[in-house]
């Protein structure tokens, strides 16, 4: 008796499984120098110091850690907040780490993890951006408020976006302050005395991450629209969509000081860590995948170290060529 042909549904299911399995196969990626498992119950954020090979990481459960990027050694770890940490600013020159949390507080710590000061932020902290010396620390909040602090956590000022929506991302470059909200809007404040922002975009999905290039002439954003990043000229407001090799929501972006790469990490159906061409979105380098959804990526000012964290609770550290990736990989 001849074999019966496979039903159409079964053939389609088999094809789908093959596609999914092939997507999970690890490509020829750059392996991390260190993978620190169980750094947090689930990682939420990483930040780097501008002067030393030093980084901070944070988790959904409110924990904080400091890392030596050269050795991968954990220098300190402590419980800092009662909610998810959504903001970090680190300065070894000021010997200080500032953290902001969904629990509605800001805290300043020394580099041994000892509390210097804790203040009420006025509302749950949902985003943060700061200068390297911590003289200006902007926080975004669940009620749409933006607040300006110094490194001593003294409140210096307050702004609001025109709609009362949760702030989802912030970026700072010179006098530019960019703020995204949960309604898909992107706002730009042009100067220290500018109280009414310009709306650069109204997108179908909100931006999860924002970063300026080194001279502030370009602003990049990753959103829940999947696969694409956006690029704006802050002066003219012109927007460009860039397709990327990511296969999920782009969760976090970091500008490489070489000027050749935009570092990225994605989530949902993808957890890839990639270096992208900031002009085209094309792949420049593949740094592999986390085991679960990606959360945050940062690169040091000298371009030598890359750090990420993820829902898989790990922190991963790469040692990089400070000159950047020169050739676009096929």
Cα torsion through 297, 117, 171, 195, rounded to 10: 170
For the record, the structure tokens of 188 come out as: 């730009």
Does the pLDDT at position 99 exceed 80?
Answer: yes
3-state helix, strand, coil in the chain (%, to 5): 5, 50, 45
Sheet strand arrangement including 207-212 = 207-212, 219-223, 228-232, 239-243
Residue 326 pLDDT exceeds 50: no
Bridge partners, 159 (sequence order): 146
Query: Mean per-residue pLDDT for 86-97?
Result: 98
- Which residues does 39 contact at the CB level (< 8 Å), separation at least 6? 57, 59, 65, 74, 309, 313, 314, 315
Tokens of 243: 């397709």
Domain 30-248 has CATH 2.130.10.10: yes
24-72 tens-digit pLDDT = 444 588 999 999 999 998 999 999 999 999 999 999 999 999 999 999 9
pLDDT category at 329 given cuts 50, 70, 90 is very low
- Mean of pLDDT values over 88-116: 98
Find residue 293's DSSP bridge partners: none
Strand partners, 202: 185
Length of the chain: 330
* Helices and strands counted in the chain (H then E): 1, 28
**Tens digit of each residue's pLDDT (9 = 90 or more) over 275-322:** 999 999 999 999 999 989 889 999 999 999 999 999 989 999 999 986
pLDDT, residue 268, reads 82
Would you state the pLDDT for residue 258?
Answer: 84
Q: Is the pLDDT of residue 157 over 90?
A: yes
First to last CA, the chain: 49
Please compute the mean of the pLDDT values over residues 115-139 and round it to a whole number: 98
More confident residue, 86 or 327: 86
pLDDT more than 90, % of the chain: 77
- The answer to whether 207 and 223 have CB atoms below 8 angstroms apart is yes
Tokens 């993978």 identify what position? 35
Residue 11, helix vs strand vs coil: helix
Q: What is the pLDDT of residue 112?
A: 97
Would the pLDDT of 255 be above 50? yes
Give yes or no for residue 328 having a pLDDT over 50: no
The pLDDT of residue 330 is above 70 = no
Give the strand order in the sheet containing 145-149: 125-130, 137-141, 145-149, 155-160
pLDDT of residue 16: 45
Alpha-carbon distance of 247 to 175, in angstroms, equals 34
Could you give the CA distance from residue 311 to residue 40 in angstroms, rounded to a whole number?
9
Is 50 exceeded by the pLDDT of residue 23?
Answer: no
Does residue 202 have a pLDDT over 80?
yes
Percentage of residues of the chain with pLDDT beyond 70: 88
């Amino acid at each position: 008796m001849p074999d019966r042909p496979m039903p159409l549904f079964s053939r389609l299911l088999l094809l789908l499984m093959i596609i999914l399995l092939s997507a999970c196969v690890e490509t020829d990626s750059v392996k991390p120098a260190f993978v620190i498992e169980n750094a947090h119950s689930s990682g939420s954020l990483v930040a780097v110091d501008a002067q030393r090979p030093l980084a901070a990481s944070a988790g959904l459960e409110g924990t904080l850690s400091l890392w030596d990027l050269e050795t991968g050694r954990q220098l300190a770890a402590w419980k800092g907040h009662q909610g998810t940490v959504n903001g970090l600013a680190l300065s070894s020159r000021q010997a200080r780490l500032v953290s902001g949390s969904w629990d509605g507080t800001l805290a300043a710590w020394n580099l041994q993890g000892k509390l210097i000061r804790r203040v009420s932020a006025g509302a749950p902290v949902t985003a943060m951006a700061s200068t390297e010396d911590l003289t200006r620390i902007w926080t975004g909040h669940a009620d749409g408020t933006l607040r300006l602090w110094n490194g001593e956590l003294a409140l210096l000022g307050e702004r609001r976006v025109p709609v009362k929506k949760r702030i989802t991302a912030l970026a700072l470059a010179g006098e530019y302050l960019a703020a995204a909200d949960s309604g898909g809007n992107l706002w730009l404040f042009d100067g220290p005395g500018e109280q009414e922002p310009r709306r650069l975009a109204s997108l179908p999905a909100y931006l999860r991450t924002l970063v300026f290039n080194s001279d502030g002439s370009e602003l990049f954003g990753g959103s829940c629209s999947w696969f694409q990043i956006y690029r704006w000229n802050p002066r003219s407001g012109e927007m460009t969509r860039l397709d990327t090799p990511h296969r999920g929501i782009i969760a976090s972006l970091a500008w490489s000081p070489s000027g050749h790469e935009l570092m990225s990490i994605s989530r949902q159906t993808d957890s890839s860590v990639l270096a992208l061409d900031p002009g085209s979105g094309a792949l420049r380098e593949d740094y592999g995948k986390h085991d679960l959804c990606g959360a945050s990526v940062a690169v040091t000012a000298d371009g030598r170290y890359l750090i990420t964290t993820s829902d898989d609770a790990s922190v991963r550290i790469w040692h990089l060529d400070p000159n950047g990736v020169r050739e676009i990989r096929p």
